[in-house]
A and B are shown apart, each in its own frame.
Chain A
Amino acid sequence: MMLEAKSLTMRFGGVTAVDSLSLEVPQGEIIALIGPNGAGKTTVFNMITGAYAPTSGKVIFQGSDITAKNPSFIAKQGIGRTFQNIRLFKGLSVFENVITAKHLHLKSNLFQAIFRIKGLSSYPEEEKRMIDETNDLLEKLGLIDLKDAVSTSLPYGKQRRLEIARALATDPKLLLLDEPAAGMNPQETIELARFIERIRDEFKLSVLLIEHHMDLVMDISKTIYVMDFGLNIATGTPSEIQGNKKVIEAYLGSGD
């Protein structure tokens, strides 16, 4: 199992944002987390990535407990993420955005990075490797032509893609995507579905996905977890979820 969340609970003051949610992401699968706005999906992401310390519950990643660990430590273990409202490094170029995410695997220390004497310092080789890998990644994701552009000058769809590229640059084993299709039209959404599957295969990823576009979710996910008001109200394959009464109620309101 790539990721196991065991009865995660998050309370903010008197409000329970997530109430004992458990979920599993098997190796190489695409798993979706859906639910109406405010259901607590992003809070789950924040607990998995260490941005929030859960009130109770555990996060197990590849067999080891990473609950409430430092977010940078968790990223190093191999969990990459994107953000719901695109959060690029605004002042930096496309290339810089991506290569910055390579920093976590740097082995050279600060002194080696400053005093780059060939033979004594491992930094020059590492820098070259990081540059090559970044170019390679940008090539694969079709962003190479834009590499020197300021990140925020990109069109919306490319910005989303850049966020994914940046997350991939950390060499994750598990990728958390927070509403990757937000603001996309149906055509773009279909392309995104193929894109997610492609990177899953190419980078040997497992994917956990928050999404509102049902077509996308039904299209690519193996298992779907449905949340409403912090509770996990249903779990199952796309076809099981499609017919689930509770889920329909959650989305449409109970109708009385």
Chain B
Amino acid sequence: MSKKTAFSIAAIGAILLLALVLNSVLDSYSKRVLNLCAIYAIIALSLNLVNGFTGMFSLGQAGFMAIGAYAVAIFTVPVELRAQGFYLEPMHPAIANIELPLIVALLLGGVLAGAFAFVIGFPVLRLRGDYLAIATLGFSEIIRIIFTNTQSITNGALGIKNVPSLSNMFFIYLAAIIVFVLMRLLLSSSFGRAFKAIREDEIVAEAMGINLFKHKIASFVISAFFAGIGGGLYGALLGTVDPKNFMFTLTYNFVLIIVLGGLGSMSGTVIASFIITIGMEWLRFFDDTLILFGTEIPIFRPGLRMVVFSILLMVIVLFFQKGLMGQKELSVDMVKGLVSRVKGLGKKRGDGK
């Protein structure tokens, strides 16, 4: 075992141990926010695989998430509780009595999302740039439209309630770590190099014997699979799944995360997921009325948070195009360098005294 591998395993163990401890110490609100961070990280990583590492521009993540979330919602609600939600039209008899454990439903959601991506990938991945963006966005909306209309399977616009809610930090962080490790292995393999080659220059990649279509569809399907898993966890965390949760504007959150973290950086994506998710919570004070010196400041009212959020997105795109990490990954050396630089600064200041 190399030093690097040993270090990684130790880090993973530490994170899981921390998750286990925090799970029993923290209040449910903090747990929920931290869980959301990990789930957002999974989905943002999946989006970065396509957009940051393979150089395509997909905006379909909300749709793939919906598939995963519905797989979990449909199959994990206890059979006896279903009739009460499906009051407009009873659940289709073929699925009404099937109840699956969460893990199986999650995997099913991932596989279904991947299968859907595979089918739409054939026409869609021949498109370039913004056409691909529009087409994937279109399909993400089509999924939502389908789910709104298949009353006997998804309960239509009413949504599915009573999804056994998931708040176990250990489980969610374990899932996030598995996704991270799998993606790391993929990207460090020859296939990952091929993806990056396609990102850098499609024509050259092809001339070097890399089959564009096969690799693009592989990247797209894997991304959808992980987004499906992430969506399933998201559905379980919310406890209620309805089509409005999966408007394509949801995808914009992940676009912001990968842009902030750096298109093409996995560790950047994870860091940005935490910053954005916690930041969004922290920004909630913008939505509350603020009273200073006895007068109410009129600009603080519901909605301001999202305005600030979208302005932040614009600022990052316009002025920090590389994001936090660019295409680099966080490494021990990088942290050491950073630490020594900070120390250097402190020393200089100390000398100045």
Contacts and interface: CB of A to CB of B under 8 A. Distances in A.
A114 B193 contact: no
Given A87-B201, A113-B191, A101 B185 contact: no
A51 B190 CA distance: 24
Interface residues of B, number: 26
Interface in A90-121: 90-92, 96, 99-106, 108, 110, 113-116
Contacts of B218: 110
A88 B204 CA distance: 8
Contacts of A244: none
B54 to A, nearest CB: 13
Interface stretch (A9-17, A75-83, A154-162, A220-228): A75-83
B209 interface: yes
B148 interface: no
Contact of B189 (A90, A96, A101, A127): A127
A90 B185 contact: no
Interface in B172-213: 182, 185-186, 189-191, 193-194, 196-197, 199-201, 203-212
A127 B188 CA distance: 10
Contacts of A170: 208-209
Interface residues of A, number: 40
Contacts of B196: 89, 91-92, 96, 100
Contacts of A88: 204
Given A110-B218, A113-B189, A127-B189, A49 B207 contact: yes
A102 B190 contact: yes
A72 B186 contact: no
A106 B194 CA distance: 11
23 contacts: A51-B206, A70-B206, A72-B211, A72-B212, A80-B208, A89-B201, A89-B205, A91-B327, A99-B193, A101-B208, A103-B190, A103-B191, A103-B209, A104-B209, A113-B186, A114-B186, A115-B185, A116-B189, A127-B190, A167-B208, A169-B208, A170-B208, A170-B209
Interface of A: 49, 51, 70-73, 75-76, 80-81, 83, 87-92, 96, 99-106, 108, 110, 113-116, 123, 126-127, 130, 166-167, 169-170
Given A76-B209, A108-B190, 6 more contacts: A88-B204, A89-B196, A90-B200, A92-B200, A103-B210, A170-B209
Interface of B: 182, 185-186, 189-191, 193-194, 196-197, 199-201, 203-212, 218, 264, 327
